[in-house]
């Protein structure tokens, strides 16, 4: 996308982009915390097995890979986009339920870390490409995902760095295990809320797009149509770059 295309893209999907960025920032924070401080978290849980990383992460990787691979079977972009939202929301729910089960001593630390990892990557992996690809394809927006990926990553790592600074200077007396558990709760709750908000927004946006053949807001699309010359412009209210 060039500058004008990026402007049109942001203008067309601003609320959805905001919802998506909030979710991605939360997931990046949780992912970086789990991956970069996994040794400290396992130590807090009194797990000192050097092979624990292979035991937990291998199964998580295979499961997520299978789930993401099955999405190729869904040819309809809207249906795939909805399913991706469901997978993301399910990932948040899985992480929250596992943490509740761990707090209630229903599952052990290894099962907790494994399930939280599964839920985390179920929600995180789609944002690396699949989510945005299906989004653009659903709305027939000409362009690639490079811009939105760059924007997401920059915001995500900024959020992750900010939380790490807060952790070091604001909550230094809390163990990494406890801090991670608290973060899982916050990320799961807020992420689920914005996941549902994103799903509702994009479903409504798809309805507007199919009805008015534009990704502009409904009222603006009507104004454009009413103000256009019927003989030439009535069927040209689609955004320039769609």
pLDDT digits (tens, 9 = 90+) for 168-185: 777 667 888 899 999 999
Query: 13-212 has which fold?
Result: Growth Hormone; Chain: A; (1.20.1250)
> Taking all residues of the chain, what is their mean pLDDT, rounded to a whole number?
84
Contact yes or no for 62/50 (Cβ under 8 A): no
| Domain extents in the chain | 13-212
Q: Can you tell me the mean pLDDT for 132-138?
A: 89
pLDDT score for 236 = 35
- Per-residue tokens: 6: 């990026």
Distance of CA 102 to the CA centre of its chain: 25
pLDDT score for 171 = 65
pLDDT score for 98 = 96
Beta-carbon neighbour count of residue 215 at 10 Å?
22
Sign of the four-CA dihedral 209, 80, 154, 119: positive
CA–CA distance from 81 to each of 21, 58, 173, 238 (Å)? 16, 27, 42, 21
Cα 86–Cα 97–Cα 25 angle in degrees, nearest 5? 60
* d(C-alpha 131, C-alpha 12), whole Å: 17
Q: Can you tell me the mean pLDDT for 92-97?
A: 97
The pLDDT-based confidence of 94 (bands split at 50, 70, 90) is: very high
Q: Looking at the predicted structure, is the pLDDT value of residue 15 above 50?
A: yes
């Amino acid at each position: 996308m060039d500058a004008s295309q990026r402007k049109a893209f942001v203008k067309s999907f601003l609320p959805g982009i905001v919802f998506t960025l909030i979710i991605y920032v939360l997931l990046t924070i949780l992912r970086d915390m789990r991956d970069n401080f996994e040794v400290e978290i396992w130590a807090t849980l009194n797990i000192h097995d050097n092979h624990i990383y292979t035991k937990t992460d291998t199964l998580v990787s295979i499961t997520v890979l299978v789930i993401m691979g099955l999405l190729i079977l869904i040819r309809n972009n809207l249906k795939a986009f909805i399913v991706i939202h469901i997978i993301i929301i399910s990932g948040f729910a899985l992480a929250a339920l596992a943490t509740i089960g761990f707090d209630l001593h229903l599952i052990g630390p290894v099962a907790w870390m494994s399930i939280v990892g599964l839920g985390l990557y179920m929600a995180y992996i789609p944002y690396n490409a699949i989510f945005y690809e299906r989004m653009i394809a659903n709305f027939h927006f000409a362009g690639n995902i490079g811009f939105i990926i760059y924007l997401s990553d920059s915001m995500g790592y900024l959020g992750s760095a900010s939380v790490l600074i807060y952790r070091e200077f604001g909550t230094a007396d809390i163990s990494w295990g406890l801090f991670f558990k608290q973060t899982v709760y916050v990320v799961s709750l807020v992420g689920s809320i914005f996941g549902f908000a994103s799903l509702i927004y994009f479903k409504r946006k798809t309805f507007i797009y199919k009805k008015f053949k534009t990704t502009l807001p409904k009222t603006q699309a009507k104004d454009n149509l009413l103000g256009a010359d019927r003989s030439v412009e009535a069927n040209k209210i689609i955004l320039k770059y769609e």
